[in-house]
Amino acid sequence: MLQYAVPPVKEGRIIRPGGPNVQVEGQVYQTMGKWHWVWDGAEIRQGFPGGRLALGGGRRKNRVAVGDRVTLRLQSDGSALIESILPRKNKLSRRLSFTGAEHVVAANVDVLAVMLAPNPLLNTALLDRYLVAALSQGMEVAVLVNKMDLLSPSEVNETLEPYRRLNYPIFPMAAKLRRDLDAFLSAVAERWVVLVGHSGVGKTTLVNAVVPGAEERVAEVREATGKGRHTTSSAIAHRLEDGTILVDTAGIREFALWEVGWREVERSFPEIHEAGAGCRFPDCQHDREPGCAVKGSLQAGRISPRRYGSYLSLLREVLGKGAEAR
């Protein structure tokens, strides 16, 4: 079992920064409201955005996200001012349904681990959304199937066969029972891994199973900030002994894509993109166009009807044709 390593909560308390007007760099390990906890390689520093980063509203819900590399300036009162965000290699963003603003869930992600669980069925439509968001940003993907003690292997194999054919790594597990976790942990060793999925699928259960002290750390932050258990803007990164970072994110009900074009959607469905090479028109969107080779592959059973339906839903969404996020 991997053990909890740095960044620790020293003697059960979050380390408060000291030494005014000193600038340091670090990486954001946790966000909750306006507060951010940054690991600078030696300790955790609690900070808040300053200057332009403090401006809210517009098309962004948050400017600083877990995974961001930032510069901090230490203040005389023991707090730290986040002055700038260093360039990101990628980001996982979603569109908020009520405001249409961007919510950056995490930045600088190596692996997006999408967790599924029966509720009562595996939600492959949500999986497809995450795949588009991840692949359009150059992230690797892992599919976690939790609560296998409540599922039959044949059901899982049948539902996820289209993804297995596309060589997506799939990891069945039972996090609550601490069963079959090692294969996933070995596959993502020393990477920044962001756990995402619907509420209740077991992301936090997985973290608690492999990170001793995780529950206490989260409880301490909630107490320090006055935030309740279900704070939708919260995300927290946990570092394992081997250097792996597991980021636990808040569960969601829907995931609307942010600034993704239709060609990015198509490329994120490799079987559709490959079949599309035979279409009559190079700009065929594989919906109602004549001479569409994708329709032939669909009828021949080479493309999953469920995957094709998911593609159409996402296509129409990004083209503004009224499809709703699921």
Instruction: Report the pLDDT value the prediction gives residue 76, as an integer from 0 to 100.
Output: 78
Please compute the mean of the pLDDT values over residues 147-157 and round it to a whole number: 92
- Mind listing the pLDDT tens digit for each residue in 38-57? 988 888 888 888 877 766 55
Other C-beta atoms lying within 10 Å of the C-beta of residue 127: 23
Domain spans in the chain, listed from the N-terminal domain onward = 10-85, 91-249, 261-318
Q: Which two tokens stand for residue 13?
A: 């308390």
Q: Which two tokens stand for residue 290?
A: 């004549």
Instruction: Report the pLDDT value the prediction gives residue 132, as an integer from 0 to 100.
Output: 98
Quote the CA–CA distance of 191 and 188 in Å, as a whole number: 6
Instruction: Report the pLDDT value the prediction gives residue 17, as an integer from 0 to 100.
Output: 44
Give me the percent of the chain exceeding a pLDDT of 90: 62
**CATH number listed for the domain at residues 10-85:** 2.40.50.140
Closest CA to 248 of 155, 175, 299: 175
CATH of 261-318, one of 1.10.3720.10, 3.40.1160.10, 3.90.1150.10, 1.10.40.50: 1.10.40.50
Please compute the mean of the pLDDT values over residues 2-17 and round it to a whole number: 36
Give the confidence band of 253 by pLDDT, cuts at 50, 70, 90: confident
pLDDT at 58 over 90: no
Instruction: Look over the chain and give the mean of its residue pLDDT values, rounded to a whole number.
Output: 85
Handedness of CA 58, 60, 61, 63 (dihedral sign): negative
Least confidently predicted of 13-27, 92-106, 237-251, 286-300: 13-27
Instruction: Report the pLDDT value the prediction gives residue 206, as an integer from 0 to 100.
Output: 96
Residue 293 — φ and ψ, nearest 5°?
Answer: -70, -25
Instruction: Report the pLDDT value the prediction gives residue 47, as an integer from 0 to 100.
Output: 87
DSSP code for 276: G
Please compute the mean of the pLDDT values over residues 95-121 and round it to a whole number: 91
More confident residue, 252 or 168: 168
Quote the CA–CA distance of 138 and 109 in Å, as a whole number: 9
Please compute the mean of the pLDDT values over residues 263-278 and round it to a whole number: 97
Give the confidence band of 23 by pLDDT, cuts at 50, 70, 90: confident
Least confidently predicted of 60-64, 181-185, 275-279: 60-64
Residues 6+ apart with CB under 8 A from 76: 20, 21
Do the two domains 10-85 and 91-249 of this chain adopt the same fold? Answer: no
Instruction: Report the pLDDT value the prediction gives residue 11, as an integer from 0 to 100.
Output: 32
Quote the CA–CA distance of 88 and 137 in Å, as a whole number: 11
Domain topology for 91-249: Rossmann fold (3.40.50)
Quote the CA–CA distance of 229 and 104 in Å, as a whole number: 20
Looking at the whole model, is its pTM more than 0.85?
yes
Give the confidence band of 108 by pLDDT, cuts at 50, 70, 90: very high
Give the confidence band of 275 by pLDDT, cuts at 50, 70, 90: very high
Instruction: Report the pLDDT value the prediction gives residue 75, as an integer from 0 to 100.
Output: 79
Please compute the mean of the pLDDT values over residues 194-214 and round it to a whole number: 90
pLDDT at 231 over 50: no
